[in-house]
Chain A
Amino acid sequence: MALAGATGTAPAIELRGISKAFGPVQANRNIDLVVPRGTIHGIIGENGAGKSTLMSILYGFYRPDAGEILIGGQPVTISDSQAAIRAGIGMVFQHFKLVPNFTVLENIILGAEDRGLLRHSLSRARGELKRLAEEYGLQVDPDAAVEELSVGHQQRVEILKALYRQADILILDEPTGVLTPAEADHLFRILRGLKDEGKTIILITHKLREIMEITDNVSVMRRGEMVASVRTAGTNPTELAELMVGRKVLLRVEKTPAQPGAPVLEVRGLGMVDADGVERLRGIDLEVRAGEIVGIAGVAGNGQTQLLEILGGFPEPGARLQGEIRLNGTPLPLSGTGADGRARRAAGIGHVPEDRQVEGLIMDFSAWENSAFGYHDAPQFQNGLLMDNAAIRADAADKMQRFDVRPPNPDLAAKNFSGGNQQKIVVAREIERNPDLLLIGQPTRGVDIGAIEFIHKRIVALRDAGKAVLLVSVELDEIMALSDRIAVMFDGRIMGERLPASTTAGELGCLMAGLEPAAAPATSGGTE
């Protein structure tokens, strides 16, 4: 097993026999890992495979139960994040740890202020920032407030924070999950630049394409174990996917041609102006028929969120709406109590929201409490004046089993499940109600491949049962694989509709960027 990278020198990181258990759950079992200096090392695995635990051990959030950590050949004990920083490890979390109303400079020195007065640290950081920006192409305005930066720039601040602390080893957890494709490309350029300067980078991701594109070596985790570490050049996505889930996976969605029936959802001239006076939706016309999946492609922030929220019955407070929504021919009110989430559910709309951790689930509630969330009014969950908790629990246990939620323990709080399993809880809840229309936003964001496949199958099965599905995803692959019809949103408008069979990722990409198809280059190749 020869890994790419410098030979002869001690590896940047070496883990020997790392184990970590949380109660009965063995999150990491006897993990060995070698990351050669100056390489980009990918770590992939399903949600719950133990990647995050392993990285948390490296960053000092958890202490391993057993095993050894060697940094540059020297055994070290990483008791907390300060120790990790001293050992030269920097971490860029999936959810940034920035103070939104601080400037870039203030965020960078946070925790590394070295004198009583900030003036000194700030001026030192300013100089250092300038140098880093030039060296690695990490340009960012040091005096801008972080909350005003785009997500891509916020991520740069996180990287700069780590570099400012003299990190030699950079760990990035799902760094492209929040980025636009262009931003992701830029990030990769930065990472290559860092590698050329001799930095070691660990990239945790579930996107195989990224692994193939940028890493030198890749390690695969499965159920707490490290199942393989290979040179990226010597492997392929199919092999990695199989290693990851331990069985054959379909990277494509198997489905028969759609048999669209009568229109279920009709949207006419839907417009929305938010509380700040910004026009978010501009005359949306959309139709979803029974037995069809309509996918909405688009870069995040082009009105998809607002569309789903309005259809789901919870537009942001203070928004002004106009237009018409019909479900099975009946007009739905746009505002008032008849237009809240409860009324929408009663009308037959199920909704898997884009942000399961903030909207779809109450993280402190147990799985069984969550599995009735939004449907807690249902007659079968009532017992006179009280809720029939036993019935809800039984129903939850049943759903968890059928949706293969792991661990299948309804009493566990939602926050203790991995992302994929959290999503399965939400999807089970919404699909099992057999809605006429299912709204589903980012169904597989942060979800592992095994669960993605499972969730996709369920969506297709719902369609095949003659239901309408409106899918919103920023993953173009997902839109293309799953949809029977694709609508592209840009700047609050539907730019156009395409059939997956007769379009290319390139054409959709142009529409997503706001270019009319006529203006789009005719031969903008697909992404496959």
Chain B
Amino acid sequence: MERMPKWADVIVTPLISLALAFAISALVILAIGESPVEALKVMVEGALGSSYGWGFTLYYTTNFVFTGLAVMVAYHAGLFNIGGEGQAAMGGLGVTLVVLALPWPHWALALPAAVVGAALFGALWALIPAWLQAKRGSHVVITTIMFNFIAAALLNYVLVNLLRPVGSMDPASANFPPATHLPKLSDMALAFGIDWGRNTPANIAFFIAIIACLLVWLLIWRTRLGYEIRAFGKSEPAALYAGISPVRITVVAMLISGALAGLMAVNNVMGEAERLVLNAVEGAGFIGIAVALMGRNHPLGVFLAALLFGFLYQGGGELALWTSIPRELIVIIQALVILFTGALDNMVRMPLERLFLTLNRKRG
């Protein structure tokens, strides 16, 4: 069957899906007696209308890039890692242990160590499901989701019993020392004399996310490992024929995936909260699934989709703040976007393919 041009597949399909999601969201907003136009205005202005809004949008974007890349890498190996939530939570533990372990003189020294800690803990959390899948055939979908709960319970225990400073009533780690605080994007802008996004959480981890996108692209399409990951993901019998070990690829791909999810902690734990709190991930691990799906499992797409979800998060927060639209509605909008861009993707693509087919026939 002829396919439509690639640009249409990559750009037009998600845009139409998005428009449909927004159209139905508008109906829901109408149904509760609010103005969809007004709501959209609040969202756009709140998320993109000021450098303050952008500062938050990019912060959320950074989270979603990491978890989106995590899902993407596993997907290329034919694995569905929905344990980003737990892996990111464990990444937070890794960051916290690294930052609190030594009296770091400067953030520039603490950051690489924190990156390693976050990646290592995230990867290790993915290792057990990966091993079970590779050796025992226990499906990663099941095991990773169970590991999310285990991670939550484990962090609960660690925070309450081990990391909580003596005398504190708050189940959270000690505040990170000021020397380890990561520069915010606003600080960096200020260094160039630009007043941008003051008091917003977007920080240097945003650039790490961009670098991660680049490295993941290189990994998947330019390295031998990426080639083997893709080959295994497309056809396991072929991988066996070529001498690519399924155990090795399953484990390595899941380790990379877990490490990417864990890296999110550099942004939210080290860059924003500057201590480890309960439930620091706040569902970003699951958003990563939608981000990867919508981003067509390509780093550029993941980045753009993460930006969209960053906008939805920040715009949604604004909506709850400034209008009488309840916060739950934003969850509905996000759900609709996920539904249309992820689950109902073919609903849009197939008519579109047919349209292009007809156009082609008329032209030729």
Name A's B-contacting residues (CB within 8 A): 21-23, 61-63, 65, 312-314, 337, 340-345, 351, 353, 355, 358-365, 369, 373-374, 376-377, 382, 385-387, 389
Contact = CB atoms under 8 A, between A and B. Distances in A.
Contact of A376 (B218, B228, B245, B364): B228
B237 interface: yes
B238 A342 contact: no
A54 to B, nearest CB: 16
Closest 10 CB pairs of A and B: A342-B243, A341-B243, A374-B242, A359-B241, A314-B240, A340-B243, A386-B222, A362-B234, A359-B237, A358-B237
B227 interface: yes
A374 B364 contact: no
Contacts of B240: 314, 340-341, 359
B136 interface: no
Given A21-B364, A23-B2, A374 B243 contact: yes
A350 to B, nearest CB: 12
A342 B244 CA distance: 7
Contacts of B88: none
B227 A359 contact: no
B235 interface: yes
B241 A341 contact: yes
A387 B237 contact: no
A340 B241 CA distance: 8
A374 B244 CA distance: 8
Interface string B242-284: 1111000000000000000000000000000000000000000
B267 to A, nearest CB: 27
A22 B222 contact: no
11 contacts: A65-B364, A312-B241, A340-B245, A343-B243, A359-B241, A361-B238, A363-B235, A364-B234, A365-B231, A386-B222, A387-B227
B225 to A, nearest CB: 10
Interface residues of B, number: 22
Given A21-B364, A65-B364, A386-B218, A358 B238 contact: yes
A389 B243 contact: no
Contacts of A314: 240-241, 243
Contact of B242 (A23, A342, A355): A342
A53 to B, nearest CB: 11
A341 B242 contact: yes
Interface of B: 1-2, 218, 222-224, 227-228, 230-231, 234-235, 237-238, 240-245, 361, 364
B231 A373 contact: yes
Contacts of A382: 224
Nearest to A344: B243
Contacts of A351: 241
B361 A387 contact: no
A388 to B, nearest CB: 10
B223 A337 contact: no
Nearest to A315: B240
Contacts of A63: 361
> Which of B218, B231, B361 has the most CB atoms of chain A within a 10 A radius of its CB?
B231
A358 B242 contact: no
Contacts of A313: 243
A377 B235 CA distance: 19
Contact of B223 (A22, A312, A344, A385): A385
A339 B227 CA distance: 21
A365 B234 contact: yes
A369 B221 CA distance: 11
A426 B230 CA distance: 19
A385 B223 CA distance: 7
Given A21-B364, A23-B2, A360 B241 contact: yes
Contacts of B243: 313-314, 340-345, 374
Nearest to B2: A22
A320 B347 CA distance: 47
A389 B218 CA distance: 12
A385 to B, nearest CB: 7
> Which of B2, B231, B235, B241 has the most CB atoms of chain A within a 10 A radius of its CB?
B241
Contacts of B223: 385-387
B245 A359 contact: no
Nearest to A386: B222
Given A362-B230, A373-B231, 18 more contacts: A61-B1, A313-B243, A314-B243, A342-B244, A355-B237, A358-B238, A359-B237, A359-B240, A359-B241, A373-B238, A374-B243, A376-B224, A376-B228, A376-B242, A377-B224, A386-B222, A386-B223, A387-B222
A14 B246 CA distance: 52
Nearest to B246: A317
B235 to A, nearest CB: 5
A100 B107 CA distance: 61
A361 B237 CA distance: 10
Nearest to B231: A362
Nearest to A61: B1
Contacts of A389: 222
B231 to A, nearest CB: 5
Contacts of A365: 230-231, 234
Contacts of B2: 22-23
A523 to B, nearest CB: 43
A418 B122 CA distance: 45
A359 B240 CA distance: 8
B234 A374 contact: no
Nearest to B248: A337
Contacts of B361: 63, 65
> Which of B227, B237, B243, B245 has the most CB atoms of chain A within a 10 A radius of its CB?
B243
A387 B238 CA distance: 20
A358 B224 contact: no
A61 B2 CA distance: 11
Contact of A369 (B227, B235, B241, B364): B227
Nearest to B360: A23
Contacts of A355: 237
Contact of A387 (B224, B231, B235, B242): B224
Contacts of A353: 241
A61 B227 CA distance: 33
A298 to B, nearest CB: 21
Contacts of A386: 218, 222-223
Contacts of B244: 341-342
